[in-house]
Amino acid sequence: MEQIFHNLVIGFSVAATPINLLFALIGCLLGTLIGVLPGIGPVATIAMLLPITFNLSPVGALIMLAGIYYGAQYGGSTTAILVNIPGESSSVVTCLDGYQMARQGRAGPALAVAALGSFFAGCVATVIIAVAAPPLAEVALKFGPSEYFSLMVFGLIAATVLAHGSLIKAIAMVVWGLLFGLVGTDVNSGVLRFTFGVPELSDGIGFVIVAMGMFGTTEIIANLDMKEHREIFTSKVKNLWPTKQDFKDSWGAVLRGTALGSCLGILPGGGALLASFGAYSLEKKVSRHPEKFGKGAIQGVAAPESANNAGAQTSFIPMLTLGIPSNAVMALMIGALMIQGIAPGPQVMNEKPELFWGLIASMWLGNLMLVILNLPLIGMWVKLLTVPYRYLFPSILVFMAIGVYSLSNNPFDVLIMGVFGVLGYICAKLECEPAPMILGFILGPLMEENLRRAMLLSRGDPTVFFTKPISAGFMIGSLILLVIVALPAIRKKREEVFVEE
Amino acid sequence: MKIKSQKDFWSGIMFIGSGLFFALWAVEFYQMGTAVRMGPAYFPTVLGGLLVVLGAIVLLQSLAMEPEGDQAVHTPFNIVDLAIALGIYAILIFLSVKIGFSSEWAILGATVIVALLTVMFRPDAKPLVLITAATIFYGYLMKPLGLVIATAALVFISAAGGHEFKWKEVTILFVILILFSVFVFVKGLTLPFPIWPEYFS
């Protein structure tokens, strides 16, 4: 306990310096901005900014990028409530009841409950990270190559189980991503693999480029394929403060949402999106008036909004303690660490405590800023919603192109982004999820490296993954996950969760 | 044999094709090694094989399972056209490099031709092709012609891929974006982009 307090003091002394406060503010502002705007998410934004973070301090860079991720969770709810479209994918379920509340003239309380619920969840999640991360990192320090390999298998399987749509297709996407990750120089032998004589490929395909193509350009093209029609809820937002009854109705939902979101965030493959879906279903189940859901129940706003913010923050735990990304945003965070020359993993906490605790402390400060940014300044964000998409997408493209080109001042990178944009478009049309592929892509080289080392140590005996206890645990966990999803009853449930809402 | 799910059918083909490609290429050109000392071909071959198996399952499912929901592929154009366009693109680049053009000019030229063909024959594919082409122009025009012209190409061509195109609006948007790019990215963050064509400076 004292240790945690001591650590948090270090953290706040780093996070509260003017320059880092500024970075947190920039991150939160940007996050809210892209959260409010539909059609651009935290993945594309963080990918866009990655090259620029090279010029910043490591702490500053991480604080800013983290701010974008949880800031987007706040911004997304605004669009969901006022326009009935999710500004952010994790706000999909907020549309259901939030928009109904807005139609009943209660947009203000809906926005306030969303922001306050998120703030509460953010505070709790910050504490959870501070308490849970150090012991986890302690365990992770004992991991050998076989444990890491099994953990990655577990993470990838979990990511596919939690993805929606066909399980086999999701696993195929992971494998495909792993293969793309192998392009470049093989570390062990120095052989150039799958480079086809193109010198630019010898360092591998940049993760940022793939992410920008699969998430950024693909998103824009898909949006343009559909006709634009956006009805903005015009009534003025007034009476921001919820009534006593609203508070009474929503506090339980906020607590449950926070708890569920925090748990789902830690799981590999989890994060904000899954958390909000889960929380909404849970709330509907425990409610004594489930018929009110979808007709403006305040719990239907409070629970998913608390959950997505909690999930967004706790998904930092596997990234910070194990060096393993649980979703695409965390993969980008790892990219940001590597740009700064920091190898992600359990050692970061001991070697760079100011980075680790500074980031955690900044999350709490950032959440505080976000409440202020989102409640009193709500009018500004509402105005933003009236900007038509035809102005937005060329601007987004300009920033993406600058980001990719500045990676190495090489037009080839931009070409590769185009290639993955087209590939992402095809995948979207065939209902193949890009997120598992991105995870596979970033884990590919790591997995191969650990597989090789584990097999070398065990003299070619593959049973090593099942005889070492921790490793066996992960492997059995993966198997159980697969079996569970394959069971018809549960498969149906899983489809319901994703389809029904 | 009837294809019951178009989406799964084409996904299966895509996975099998790329799995085969990675596995065969690895076996052909890199050393396999042993399980103890894995060579560069080992992991890709295993993964490629796995991808083929997974793809085959998806493919079989598309033929056997009764699909739920809408399983047609909804693109505003035929997906085979897309394959043809990509083929033309690759061949154009390959041929022009063979003739002696530098790869930069080959890519630029091929992009122009495919974009024009799209606008003429498959206007429904404009969002996909013009957005992609616009970013490629940006990358390949930057070095010879500078930031201003590259940004102009990106903004005007991508805007042409949208639903509405008004010269006045797009021009204003371009001016704002180029001012922002120059002052924030080049002057502020000191990215080493040339602003004007080499020729002038």
Nearest residue to A452 (alpha-carbon basis) of B24, B40, B30: B40
User: CB-CB: which of B11, B39, B74 is closest to A169?
Assistant: B11
Nearest residue to A163 (alpha-carbon basis) of A421, A431, A422, A420: A431
pLDDT at B23: 93
pLDDT tens per residue across span A102-148: 888 888 888 889 999 999 999 999 888 888 888 888 888 888 889 88
Q: Count of CB atoms within 10 A of residue B94's CB?
A: 12
Could you tell me the pLDDT band of residue A271, with boundaries at 50, 70 and 90?
A: low
More confidently predicted of A54 and B87: B87
Residues B64-77: b if buried by 16+ CB within 10 A, e if exposed: eeeeeeebebebeb
- Quote the percentage of chain A above a pLDDT of 90: 15
pLDDT at A238: 62
| Optimal mutation site among B128, B156, B172, interface A, most CBs of chain A within 10 A | B128
Q: Are B58 and B15 in contact (CB under 8 A)?
A: yes
Can you spell out the DSSP letters for A339-385? HTT---STHHHHH-HHHHHHHHHHHHHHHHHHHHHHTTTHHHHHHHT
User: CB-CB: which of A189, A400, A414 is closest to B40?
Assistant: A189
Q: Which residue has the tokens 């709490």?
A: A364
Task: Report the alpha-carbon distance of residue A178 to residue A160 in Å, rounded.
Answer: 14
Nearest residue to A323 (alpha-carbon basis) of A345, A301, A297: A345
Q: Are A296 and A95 in contact (CB under 8 A)?
A: no
Q: Which residue has the tokens 């900014």?
A: A49
Q: Which residues contact A158 (CB under 8 A, 6 or more apart)?
A: A267, A268, A269, A270, A478, A481
Helix, strand or coil, per DSSP, at residue B78: coil
What six digits make up the tokens of B100? 């002696």
Strands A184-185 and A192-193, by their bridges, are antiparallel
**What total of structural domains would you count in chain A?**
1
User: CB-CB: which of A175, A418, A462 is closest to B50?
Assistant: A175
Do B18 and A176 count as a contact with CB atoms less than 8 A apart? yes
Domain that holds residue A318: 2-500
State how far the alpha carbon of A341 is from the alpha carbons of A45, A149, A316, A321, in Å.
22, 23, 19, 17
| Optimal mutation site among A214, A397, A431, A451, interface B, most CBs of chain B within 10 A | A397
Secondary structure letter of residue B33 according to DSSP: B
Task: Report the alpha-carbon distance of residue A220 to residue A89 in Å, rounded.
Answer: 15
Could you tell me the pLDDT band of residue A488, with boundaries at 50, 70 and 90?
A: low
Task: Report the alpha-carbon distance of residue A159 to residue A240 in Å, rounded.
Answer: 38
Helix, strand or coil, per DSSP, at residue A184: strand
Nearest residue to A90 (alpha-carbon basis) of A275, A220, A266, A217: A275
The one-digit pLDDT tens for each residue of chain B (201 residues) are 677 788 888 899 999 999 999 999 998 888 888 888 888 888 999 999 999 999 999 999 888 876 666 677 777 777 788 888 889 999 999 999 888 888 888 999 999 999 999 888 888 888 889 999 999 999 999 988 989 999 999 999 999 988 888 899 899 999 999 998 888 878 877 778 888 887 665
pLDDT at A500 over 50: no
Q: Count of CB atoms within 10 A of residue A410's CB?
A: 16
A229 touches chain B (CB under 8 A): no
User: pTM of the full predicted structure?
Assistant: 0.82
For residues A378-395, average pLDDT: 81
What six digits make up the tokens of A438? 């991105």
Specify the amino acid at residue A284.
K
Tell me the ipTM for this assembly: 0.91
Do B139 and A398 count as a contact with CB atoms less than 8 A apart? no
Secondary structure letter of residue A298 according to DSSP: T
B77 touches chain A (CB under 8 A): no
Could you tell me the pLDDT band of residue A420, with boundaries at 50, 70 and 90?
A: very high
Nearest residue to B131 (alpha-carbon basis) of A46, A387, A88, A398: A398
Q: Counting every residue, how long is chain A?
A: 501
Do A182 and B161 count as a contact with CB atoms less than 8 A apart? no
Could you tell me the pLDDT band of residue A229, with boundaries at 50, 70 and 90?
A: low
Q: How far is CA A264 from the centre of its chain?
A: 12
What six digits make up the tokens of A87? 């500004």
Conformation bin of residue A76: beta by default, left when phi > 0, alpha when psi is -120 to 50:
alpha
Specify the amino acid at residue A134.
P
A397 touches chain B (CB under 8 A): yes
pLDDT at A235 over 70: no
State how far the alpha carbon of A364 is from the alpha carbons of A24, A79, A247, A370, A479, in Å.
10, 24, 22, 10, 37
Q: Are A415 and A213 in contact (CB under 8 A)?
A: no
Nearest residue to A277 (alpha-carbon basis) of A36, A119, A122, A501: A501
Q: Are A150 and A474 in contact (CB under 8 A)?
A: yes
- E strands present in A117-272: 184-185, 192-193
Could you tell me the pLDDT band of residue A255, with boundaries at 50, 70 and 90?
A: very high
Do B44 and A418 count as a contact with CB atoms less than 8 A apart? no
A156 touches chain B (CB under 8 A): no
B8 touches chain A (CB under 8 A): yes
Specify the amino acid at residue A91.
S
Specify the amino acid at residue B189.
L
Q: Which residues contact A294 (CB under 8 A, 6 or more apart)?
A: A96, A97, A100, A300
| Optimal mutation site among B32, B68, B114, B138, interface A, most CBs of chain A within 10 A | B138
pLDDT at A464: 85
Could you tell me the pLDDT band of residue A415, with boundaries at 50, 70 and 90?
A: very high
| Optimal mutation site among A30, A54, A179, A458, interface B, most CBs of chain B within 10 A | A179
Helix, strand or coil, per DSSP, at residue B180: helix
Task: Report the alpha-carbon distance of residue A257 to residue A264 in Å, rounded.
Answer: 10
Measure the CA dihedral A478/B68/A93/A232, to 10°.
140
Q: Are A37 and A392 in contact (CB under 8 A)?
A: yes
Specify the amino acid at residue A14.
V
Task: Report the alpha-carbon distance of residue A109 to residue A18 in Å, rounded.
Answer: 33
Can you spell out the DSSP letters for A377-432? THHHHHHHTTS-HHHHHHHHHHHHHHHHHHHHT-HHHHHHHHHHHHHHHHHHHTT-
Shortest Cα distance from A110 to chain B (angstroms)?
Answer: 34
Task: Report the alpha-carbon distance of residue A62 to residue A355 in Å, rounded.
Answer: 8
Q: Are A72 and A41 in contact (CB under 8 A)?
A: yes
Q: Please, what sign has the CA dihedral across residues A44, A45, A48, A53? A: negative
Task: Report the alpha-carbon distance of residue A488 to residue A241 in Å, rounded.
Answer: 46
Reported as half-sphere exposure (CB side, CA atoms, 13 A), residue A72 has a value of: 30
Q: Are A90 and A275 in contact (CB under 8 A)?
A: yes
- Residues A150, A213, A410: CA angle, nearest 5 degrees: 105
User: CB-CB: which of B55, B73, B181 is closest to A398?
Assistant: B181
What six digits make up the tokens of A373? 């940014």
